[in-house]
Structure 1
Amino acid sequence: MPLTTQVITAIKSTMPTYLAIFDLDETLIAADSASLWNNFIVAKGLAPASLLAQEQAMMTAYSKGTLDMDSYMATTLAPLKGKSQQQIKPLVDEFIANIITPAIYQQALERIEWHRKRGDHILIISATSEHLVKPIATALGINNVIAINLEQNHGVYTGATTGILSFKEGKVERLKMWLQQQNHTYKGSYGYSDSANDLPLLNVVNKPFAVNPDPTLAMHAQMNEWTIMDWRHENNILR
């Protein structure tokens, strides 16, 4: 059932708008930010090279829709364990400036701007950790973010996650929780993703868009007459 009738109609507001929901990896950027981050921290000597082989095997499972997200997070968050936000932030800033910014789709920037001009609210929902997703969203000028939350003890990462993981059906659950905290009634919702892992989310928005979809999502989109968007990568500078 569309979010507008299932959840959104219960939210109070005097200025109805549309909600535009974007996946991050391989949707707004022409890469997976978590994979790029793992390569980055290995190059910096903050993680063993063996992490890359482990992560590659897990990403193969992701593409098949069989990834154990709990195991993935435990493996990829291990290098953060015992490090503070203050230690990690300069690395994240460097990572975004040098690696993420050039990977952003120009068409993604244009689509975000299209929604802004309409007065729509923009939300990123990602199955990547918040320590990456939130600053990337900030660089894109997007304030609303749902990502995998990281457990901290007095500002120090424990290497664990907390709450519902924003992955597959978890994205829908986290979205419902987010909507209950908002003071808006949305006229409708747009959703953008590249992955069949996001079918639970795309199936509940009013206007789903498949962006450079994987084969499973492409077939689903064709069968359901969803719009398929072909975004090509060019080097970009955030504006």
Structure 2
Amino acid sequence: MALALFDLDETLIHGDCASLWSAYMARIGWVDGGDFLQRDQQLMALYSEGKLAMEDYMAFSLAPLAGRTVEEVAAQVELYIGAVIEPLFYAEARRTVQAHREQGERLLVISASAAFLVKPIAARLGIEAALAIDLEVEGGRYTGRTVGVLTYREGKVLRLANWLEAEGETLAGASFYSDSRNDLPLLKAVPRPVAVNPDAVLREHARQAGWAIVEW
């Protein structure tokens, strides 16, 4: 069956789930709001410019999770999604996901955010399959480190290729929706790329390549 692939941040939701989670951690006292959020903004600015080393962001953003149990974090994530993320789903994103579902296509979210956020957020849209940055767990507690290939830039292409092989799927007829220049490697790899609320670099590339451009 054909695949419908979706980036998450600024594509399905109006915001970045990692930065919003940082703000939520400040609210519940897991981080010092001032310094931590300032650093988060600095790193996310680099992401928007296509200059971020994702390893740097993950080392920074996962530090508050180190030593916390998977269950403790998951409980807060559920509260966070209900309070912060649910209101940010684009209405057109919901309609588009449903349209692909009704066409019998298999849905997959592939995001450069951490899996402990991405997977439950995708589940709120009824999307069971999700690829994201996986975290190391030892003794039921997060270490603050990542494992495996990061789903960022070319890493998305590699992780997706591994998933396709494991699932017996192909990219024949596949579409991919994204807002970011950082997703150009994967957008170029699918037959039906769609630029959603694109940044300036992606918009220009999409225009020149004749890709669909949509505003949600």
Checking the alignment, whether the CA contact within 8 Å between 2:171 and 2:191 is kept in structure 1 is no
Q: Which has the larger radius of gyration?
A: 1
| Identity rate, percent | 46
Aligned to 1:59: 44
Aligned to 1:85: 70
Aligned to 2:114: 129
User: Partner of 1:188: helix, strand, or coil?
Assistant: coil
Task: State the Cα deviation string for residues 147-204 of structure 1 (Å, max 9, x = none).
Answer: 0000000210000000000000000000001001013455421010000000001000
Tell me the matched-pair count: 215
Aligned to 2:28: 44
- Paired residue for 1:96, among 49, 66, 81? 81
Aligned to 1:120: 105
1:217 matched to 2:211: no
Tell me the distance in 1 between the aligned counterparts of 2:172 and 2:163. Answer: 17
Checking the alignment, whether the CA contact within 8 Å between 2:164 and 2:170 is kept in structure 1 is no
Shift of 1:54: 0.6
User: Partner of 1:113: helix, strand, or coil?
Assistant: helix
1:160 matched to 2:154: no
Amino acid at match of 2:26: V
Amino acid at match of 2:31: A
- Paired residue for 2:53, among 61, 68, 88? 68
Runs of 4+ in 1 over 2 A off after TM superposition: 183-187
Task: State the Cα deviation string for residues 73-119 of structure 1 (Å, max 9, x = none).
Answer: 00000000000011111110010001000000000000000000000
CA RMSD of aligned residues (A): 0.8
Amino acid at match of 1:211: V
Amino acid at match of 2:9: D
Amino acid at match of 2:25: I
Q: Which runs of 5+ in 2 are unaligned?
A: none
Tell me the distance in 2 between the aligned counterparts of 1:169 and 1:186. Answer: 16
1:182 matched to 2:167: yes
Aligned to 2:8: 24
Distance 1:203 1:185, change over 3 A: closer
- Paired residue for 1:208, among 171, 177, 193? 193
Task: State the Cα deviation string for residues 112-154 of structure 1 (Å, max 9, x = none).
Answer: 0000000000100000000100100111100110000000002
TM-score (norm 1): 0.89
Tell me the distance in 1 between the aligned counterparts of 2:168 and 2:191. Answer: 20
Aligned to 1:139: 124
Checking the alignment, whether the CA contact within 8 Å between 2:112 and 2:133 is kept in structure 1 is yes
User: Partner of 1:149: helix, strand, or coil?
Assistant: strand
User: Partner of 1:181: helix, strand, or coil?
Assistant: helix
Per chain length, whose mean CA-contact separation is higher, i.e. which structure has more relative contact order (CA < 8 Å, sep 6+)?
A: 1
